[in-house]
Structure 1
Amino acid sequence: MKTISAEEFDRKFDDGEDISEYIDWTTATRPNLEPVVLTVTVTRGTKLRLERQARELGLSADTLLEEWLREKLDAVTPSAAE
C-alpha cells in the first residue's frame, strides 16, 4: 500500500481519481454500521403483524423493522452519517 499526505489523498478523491492503492482494505470500516441492540416494547398483535409481513417479504423481523425505521428517519431527517 502506498502512502501520501492527507491533503493529497483528499485532492485525489475530490478529483475523482482512483485512491484504492492508498487504502488498506483489510482494515477499512464504515462508521456507524456496527450492529447494536435496541429493545422495543410492542403489543403481541404488532409483533405478530411484523413477523407475518417480514415472512411475506422473505426478511427477518429485525431486518424489516430496521428498513422501516431507516425509511421513516430519512423522510424526516435525511442523514449522510451512515
Structure 2
Amino acid sequence: MKTVERFDRKFDDGEDISEYVDWSTATRPNLEPVTLTVTVKQGTKLRLERQARELGVSVDSLLEEWLREKLDAARPSAAE
C-alpha cells in the first residue's frame, strides 16, 4: 500500500497522524483569504459599519460570517 493511501486510511479511521504531519507548517485548503469586491449603496455601507461596530468586529468579518450562514442555510441537507 502506498504511503499516501496508508495516511488517508489512518486519517479516515480516526487514528493519530501526528507523526506524519509538520503542524508548524500545516495549512487547511480553501481557508486562505481572498479579496472580493462588492458594490453597495452608501446607506447599506453605513448600516454595515454600524452593525460591525456594535458587535466589535470588522465589516469584513461580519460579511464573511453572514455569507457563511446564508450559504450553510441554503445547502441541501444530507437527509434529502
TM norm structure 2: 0.84
Structure number with the bigger relative contact order (C-alpha 8 A, sep ≥ 6) is 1
How many residue pairs are counted as aligned between the two chains? 75
Cα distance in structure 1, aligned partners of 2:20 and 2:36? 36
Q: 2:31 aligns with which of 27, 30, 33?
A: 33
Cα distance in structure 2, aligned partners of 1:51 and 1:30? 30
Cα distance in structure 2, aligned partners of 1:72 and 1:36? 19
Q: Deviations over 1:9-49 (max 9, x none)?
A: 12222222111111111221111111111111101110000
Q: 2:60 maps to what in 1?
A: 62
Task: Kindly report the root-mean-square deviation, in angstroms, between the aligned alpha carbons of the 2 structures.
Answer: 1.5
Q: Deviations over 1:37-69 (max 9, x none)?
A: 111110111000001000111100110011001
Q: 1:43 aligns with which of 26, 41, 45?
A: 41
- Identity fraction in percent: 81
